[in-house]
Amino acid sequence: MSILVDERKKVFTLHTKNTTYQMKADSLGTLLHIYYGERTDDSDKSYIIRFSDRGFSGNPYEVGKENKMYSLDVLPQEYSCYGTGDYRISALKVQNEDGSCAAALRYKGYQVSGGKYSINGLPAVYADENEADTLEILLEDPDSKVEVHLLYGVLEENDIITRAVKIINQGKAGIVLQKAASMNLDWINGGYEWITFYGRHVMERNVQRSELDHGIHAIGSVRGTSSHHYNPFAIVCEKNADEEKGSCYGFSFLYSGEFLMEAEKDQVNQTRLVCGIHPDNFAWNLQPGEEFDTPEVMMTYSAEGLGVISRNLHKTIRKNICRGEWKERRRPVLINNWEATYFNFTGEQLVDIAKNASELGVELFVLDDGWFGKRDDDDSGLGDWFPNEKKLGCTLKELAENIVGCGMQFGLWFEPEGISEDSDLYREHPDWAVVIPGRKPALSRNQLVLDFSRKDVQDYIIGRMTAIFEETPITYVKWDFNRSICDKFSTALNAQSQGEFAHRYVLGLYRVLETLITKFPHILFEGCSGGGGRFDAGMLYYTPQIWCSDDTDAIERLTIQYGTSFGYPVSTMGAHVSAVPNHQTGRITPFSARSCVAMAGTFGYELNVTKLSEEEKEQVKKQICRFKEYYDLIQYGEYYRLLPPSDRQCTVWEMADQEGREALVSAVYHHVGTNEEPVIVKVQGLKAETYYQMHLNMDGMETMQDRDQERLVKCLPYGYKNGEAITGAALQQCGLVIPEPMEEYQAWQIHIVEV
């Protein structure tokens, strides 16, 4: 059993394969956090908690006037409350009927059950009864009778513990939740750093590492979505932790809306982390008998560095968050027409692109923005989900059937959450737009937001998309959202309930998605929000892949996909080969480099294949064949970051199969100099005593001049020549030499296979 309870001492111990988590209800009824780290026994470890008389740190009335050693202001707690003596960042803030803001939670009981809990209307890790156990601990404020149910899901083999909270108003008066975090975690020491992932549109999830020194550190979003700017994922780690060593804690928030992740190092060098819905735009009314569910946090610990944290999360997202037919089914190689045509296309042009792409081995054609309503730019038509047959030259069904006739599957772009002022939908339902009455709204991309907090709006979108799906042979949907939300107000909510809008919006989004993926399980949904503006584990519960970024430049994507890899698997990262000069940066990179980077994702194309040379078309055919050959290794293998984009010369990553039989090492040079030192990386995930051969991908090398071919052969490191075999131990301990670049932005893929 992964959950052990000492009822006499009220000690709760959670075990995963390599970790232990422990808490204890003390004599006052405070649920204290004791330990989270390497796996150990289930003995009571509360002896490590320090009790001292701290000046200006008050004492609960119940402990008596003589006991000045007991203060909530310094004790490690499982779920901290605002207003009753703990002055640090808190997890729960309740406004009572009289206007006071105070809650003091006391232990009331527990329940252990097999399997993993679920959360009504929200995404959550799922698992069978033989894969997970659930612990529910009940806390209560004895004055207001507010109950807090702390939920813990334990996935033993994955080294994953999940946290969520259910709050029930069992009192006789209404309350307002002003803050309801999903988790609180206290360490009784400091000395930590945290790694967060910041960015902006077309440059998401940059890695930032900083010391958690005294004070409050925070990342979050008040943009209505999880946002391009801060990802709802963070790592807390020891200062010397790297990819292969050091204690590390990973926290992934399964939520696609406004969030806040705070860390504080307090007066006695203890560290607290709190994660949940952002409180700035949150005030939830809870009447007697009503309950509120918080979103879930997924936690994992490793004593062996950052790489293990990532691989634990990757495995769990692939197997216990992503769902449906496309969870483990091979996803098609696609081509999207956006960068080929933008809004300017005809049905004949689209069919021509599809026909040419099909001949090269592409399997899915995706029609992007501009196929509906009055939509020749981004100024109008959004919300009018009726095909523009005049522009297409036929019905949408006929266009789709023509493309299917080319041997392709057919997909469509939607932006269901957006609405243009110049649209029939807005003229008919202006109250469906998110605006504050009497104020001019802020526009972004010349559009407003459709109020997904309203059930009638949700039902309308479900109805329109259902009509299109039922009439048209669609197997893929790109679900986009191209602005942040402001002017937050719903005409369907009263003045006292406007603080519920942002969360109700996300619940509405989830309801629409759940309805559609249930009704149309054959459709592969890809999430998107101007690229990676809503790239979170919550969305992956509904869309098993997300467009990683609107930046398709291969060299820029090295940084974006590197940062994304810390919390999310390759199988979730939408990545395409684009044209050169790149449309965002103007950079010219070799075809082989663009395909190498795109293969560290779901793989597809975003260019006009009708304009490719015969040589380039042959390269596309080979790229697709190679991606299919490596598909299982890339999508389901263990991911290793061998050399980061911050390296002066080269970025290197590896996928190794879980049995250690083979690996694919990919390298892209982003700097070419003269007389450079060799790039050497230590390959991971292989069997030490097994011999391996290395096969170098030579894509794009066929047309190089004879002298360059001769130079390449001469410069190949030992082990690439004549099929020599090398042990896994040698590759891991001595390393693998990456061949030197033959040109600017050279890419290499090295397939390592056991002999």
Alpha carbon distance 35, 48 (integer Å) = 9
CA pair distance 145, 731, nearest whole angstrom: 61
Confidence bin at 67 (pLDDT 50/70/90): confident
Reported as a single tens digit per residue, the pLDDT across 567-587 is 999 999 999 999 999 999 999
Distances (CA, A) of 630 to 284, 361, 575, 683, 751: 49, 16, 16, 18, 9
Q: Determine the Cα–Cα distance for residues 204 and 575; give it in Å rounded to an integer.
A: 14
Burial of residue 605, with CB atoms counted within 10 A of its CB: 0-12 exposed, 13-18 middle, 19 or more buried: buried
> In terms of DSSP bridges, do strands 175-187 and 92-95 run parallel, antiparallel, or are they unpaired?
antiparallel
CB 296 within 8 A of CB 541: no
Determine which helix (DSSP H) or strand (DSSP E) holds 398, and give its type and residue range: helix 396-404
For the chain, how long is the longest CA-to-CA vector? 90
Q: 3-320: what fold?
A: Beta-galactosidase; Chain A, domain 5 (2.70.98)
Judge whether residue 702 has pLDDT over 70. no
pLDDT at 473 (0 to 100):
98
Please give the average per-residue pLDDT across 495-523, as a whole number.
98
pLDDT tens digit sequence for 404-415:
999 999 999 999
CA angle 689, 690, 696 (to 5 degrees): 130
Q: Given a cut of 70, is residue 700 above it in pLDDT?
A: no
- Kindly state the average pLDDT of the residues 525-539: 98
Pairing of strands 448-449, 364-367: unpaired
Contacts of 653 (CB under 8 A, 6+ apart): 562, 565, 600, 639, 640, 641, 642, 643, 665, 666
- Looking at residue 719, its pLDDT comes to 72
For residue 720, the model assigns a pLDDT of 78
Q: Do 73 and 89 meet the contact criterion of CB atoms below 8 Å apart?
A: no
Q: What stretches of 156-242 adopt beta strand conformation (E)? A: 160-169, 175-187, 192-200, 203-211, 215-221, 233-238
DSSP state of 749: E
pLDDT value for 433: 98
Phi/psi of residue 205, each to 5°?
A: 55, 50
Question: pLDDT for 34-62, tens place per residue?
Answer: 999 999 999 999 999 989 999 999 999 99
For position 593, what pLDDT does the model report? 97
Can you tell me the distance from the alpha carbon of 702 to that of 683, in angstroms, rounded to the nearest whole number? Answer: 28
Average pLDDT in the chain: 96
Section 495-500 average pLDDT: 98
Nearest alpha carbon to residue 739 among 599, 592, 577, 548? 592
Q: Are 476 and 364 in contact (CB under 8 A)?
A: yes
Q: Model confidence at 721, in pLDDT bands (50, 70, 90)?
A: confident
Contact 544, 351 (CB under 8 A): no
Summarised one tens digit per residue, pLDDT across range 391-432 is 999 999 999 999 999 999 999 999 999 999 999 999 999 999
Kindly report, as residue ranges, where domains of CATH 2.70.98.60 are found in the chain: 3-320
Cβ-based neighbour number of residue 665 at 10 Å: 23
pLDDT digits (tens, 9 = 90+) for 646-669: 998 999 999 999 999 999 999 999
pLDDT at 174 over 70: yes
3-class SS of residue 400: helix
Q: Which helix (H) or strand (E) holds 574?
A: strand 573-574
- For residue 701, what pLDDT band results from cuts at 50, 70 and 90? low
Q: Is 500 a catalytic residue?
A: no
pLDDT for position 715: 67
Beta-sheet pairing, 573-574 with 545-547: parallel
**Which CATH superfamily groups domain 642-754?**
Golgi alpha-mannosidase II (2.60.40.1180)
Residue 394 corresponds to which amino acid? C
Q: How far apart are CA 180 and CA 167, in angstroms?
A: 8
User: Is position 129 annotated as part of the catalytic site?
Assistant: no
In the 8-state DSSP scheme, what is residue 20?
A: E
Nearest to residue 452, comparing CAs of 525, 391, 507? 507
User: How far, in Å, CA of 433 to CA of 418, rounded?
Assistant: 9
Catalytic residue (one of 73, 328, 379, 616): 616
pLDDT, tens digit, 9 for 90 and up, residues 333-362: 999 999 999 999 999 999 999 999 999 999
pLDDT at res. 672: 87
Q: Which of 131, 141, 363, 536 is catalytic?
A: 536
Residue 271: other Cβ atoms inside 10 A? 21
E strand residue ranges, 343-389: 364-367
Question: What is the C-alpha separation between 102 and 120, in angstroms, rounded?
Answer: 27
Q: Where in the chain is the domain with CATH 2.60.40.1180?
A: 642-754
Which helix (H) or strand (E) segment is 3 a member of? strand 3-6
Contacts 24+ apart (CB under 8 A), 4-10: 4/42, 5/110, 5/112, 6/42, 6/44, 9/44, 10/107
Distances (CA, A) of 225 to 125, 564, 654: 20, 17, 32
Half-sphere exposure of 683 (CA within 13 A, CB side): 31
Q: Is 554 exposed, middle or buried (0-12, 13-18, 19+ CB in 10 A)?
A: buried
In this structure, which amino acid lies at residue 352? Answer: D
